[in-house]
Structure 1
C-alpha cells in the first residue's frame, strides 16, 4: 500500500503584508487623531482669537489665545485668528518722502493755498476681549486684517479717509504762511487735527478698537499719537516768493540800521560844530584824519624844523 506524502505550503510575503497593512492603519489613525486634536501657537507679539469650526458646532468665539502660547489644544476644525499687540504705525509720506511723488495729504488753507502734509500715526490694538472680538467680526474678517496684507488694507481703508477729513476740517482755519513758518500755529493745527481724527475714527470703524502707543493691555487705552510735518505749498513758486519777500525785508532792515547810524553821526557833527565853530571842527577833522600834523614845543626849548630843499626845474 502506497504511503501518501505530506505537502507543506508556505505563504510568500506574509510578514511584509502584515507590515504594509499595519502602516496603513497607523497612517489612518494619525489622520483621525490630527482631526480630533488640533493645536495652535501664537507669536510673542500676537494675540489669538479662537473660533469653533467643527462639524457639530457653530463657528463662534471660544477663547483668547495669549501671546507666546505654544501647542494650545483646540478642537477639530477650529481656527485661531492672530492680531498684533505691539506698537503699530500708519505713515503718510514715508516711502519716497524726499521725492516729488511722495504721498501726502492735500490741505487747502484759509487763503486758498494747496498744501502737502505728511502724517504719522502711532497706536496699538485694544486687547480687551469684547472689543477685540468686535473688531475681528466687524472689521478683521471683512479686510482679512489677521494677515499682513489685510492689515495694511484695513489701515488704508479706515485710517486714510479719516486723516484726510480731519486735516481738511481744520486746515481752513489757518493761512498757509502761518502753517509754513509759525511753529505755534503749526502746533495748534496739529493738536486740532489730532482731536478731530480721534473723533472721526471710532465712528468710522464702529468702536474704540485702537489705543495709544503706550497701551499694554493692563493700563488705560490712551489716545493715538498723531503728528504732522511742516505743511509745504504744492506750488513751489509760492515759497520762492516768500523767500524773496524775506530777503527784501532783511535788506530794508539793514538799510534802516545804516540810516540810523548816519543820523547818529550827523547829530554828533552838529554838536561839535556848535561847540567848536565851523573852522574849529574842520581843523579837528583834518588833524584826526592826519592831513595836518602838529608838534608840541616845550617852553624854552630849542626846536629845529627841517625845511624842504626846493628842487630845481629840469632844463628842457
Structure 2
C-alpha cells in the first residue's frame, strides 16, 4: 500500500471539493434558503432552509438566498433615512392630512412559507439586496398601509383626528387591523407577521394650523376682554354705591385719601394748632 500516494489523492480530492463547493452562511439575524442544482434537468430544487447562525454546504452550481430574520421596519417620516415621506389621508370632511409613523414586522420564517415568499415575490424584486428590499417595502407595505389609513380616516372629521385623543386612538386601532388585512391580500399569503404600528397625530396643512391657532388666540383674547369688562363693571358698581353713601364730593375726598393725595394729621381736641394750606 502506497501511503504517500493515498494521502496525495485525498489532498487532491479535498482541493477539488473546496473549489467545487460553497456555503449558505447566515448571521444570527438572518435566515436562508438552500437550492440544489440538478445538472441532468438544469433545474434547481429546494433542499431546505438555513436557520439563523448556521451554515449549509453546497455544490458550486447550487443557489443560496439569505433574508432578514430580525425585526424589520418601514419608517414614513421627515427623517433623512426614512423609507418614505409621511403618508397623506383624507378626512370625512375632505381635508388632506399628513401622517408620520413607523410599522415594524417580521418576515415569516416557516420554511415552506419562506420558500413561497422567495419564489413569488423575493426573486422578482431581488429582495435579498438592499435596493430590492426597499422596492418590496414600497409595494407590499406602504401601499396597503396607505389604503388602510385613508379608509379609516374617512370616518372622522379632521378636527377629531387632529385634536381628539380618543378618536385618534380608535383610528389607529382600526388602521392596524385594516393594514394587516390589506398587506396579506397584497402579498397573497402571511409572508409578513407580528406587526406593530405607531402613528403620529394626523396633521392638517400649515395654513389650516395657522388659521386654527389664530382662531384660538381670538377666542382667548375675547375671553380676556370679557373678564376685563366684568372687572370694570364691578368697579363702577362699587363707585356708584360709595357716591350714594358719601356724596360726590365725599367720594372724591375718599378716593384722594385712598390714593395718598391727601394727608390726614390727627389733632387732639382743644389743641392750639394752626394749619396753613399749601400755596
| Same fold, TM-score > 0.5, yes or no | yes
SS at match of 2:23: strand
1:90 is matched with which residue?
74
SS at match of 1:53: strand
Identify the match of residue 260 of structure 1 among 223, 230, 239.
230
Identify the match of residue 43 of structure 1 among 13, 27, 47.
27
CA-CA distance at 1:97 after TM superposition: 9.0
CA-CA distance at 1:270 after TM superposition: 4.0
Q: Indicate whether 1:162 and 2:140 are aligned.
A: no
User: In 2, are the aligned partners of 1:51 and 1:78 still within 8 Å (CA)?
Assistant: yes
Q: Give CA deviations for 1:13-52 in whole Å, capped at 9, x if unaligned.
A: xxxxxxxxxxxxx9898456633x4433222221111122
CA-CA distance at 1:155 after TM superposition: 0.8
Number of equivalent positions: 268
2:176 is matched with which residue?
194
2:187 is matched with which residue?
205
SS at match of 1:286: helix
Structure with the larger strand share: 2
Deviates more, 1:267-276 or 1:77-86: 267-276
The runs of 5 or more residues in structure 2 that have no matched partner are: 1-10
Instruction: For 1:203 and 1:269, locate their aligned partners in 2 and report how far apart those are by CA, in whole Å.
Output: 77
Q: 1:285 to 1:97 in 2, by over 3 A?
A: farther
Q: Indicate whether 1:286 and 2:270 are aligned.
A: no
The structure whose Rg is larger is 1
Instruction: For 1:192 and 1:33, locate their aligned partners in 2 and report how far apart those are by CA, in whole Å.
Output: 55
SS at match of 2:67: strand
CA-CA distance at 1:271 after TM superposition: 4.1
* TM-score of the two chains, using structure 2 as the length reference: 0.82
Instruction: For 2:113 and 2:272, locate their aligned partners in 1 and report how far apart those are by CA, in whole Å.
Output: 112
* TM-score of the two chains, using structure 1 as the length reference: 0.73
Instruction: For 2:162 and 2:244, locate their aligned partners in 1 and report how far apart those are by CA, in whole Å.
Output: 54
Q: CA RMSD for the aligned pairs?
A: 3.0
Identify the match of residue 296 of structure 1 among 260, 266, 272.
266
SS at match of 1:158: helix
Matches within 5 A, 1:92-111: 92-96=76-80, 103-111=85-93
Q: Indicate whether 1:62 and 2:44 are aligned.
A: no
User: In 2, are the aligned partners of 1:54 and 1:76 still within 8 Å (CA)?
Assistant: no
Identify the match of residue 34 of structure 1 among 2, 19, 38.
19
SS at match of 2:38: coil
Q: Indicate whether 1:149 and 2:131 are aligned.
A: yes
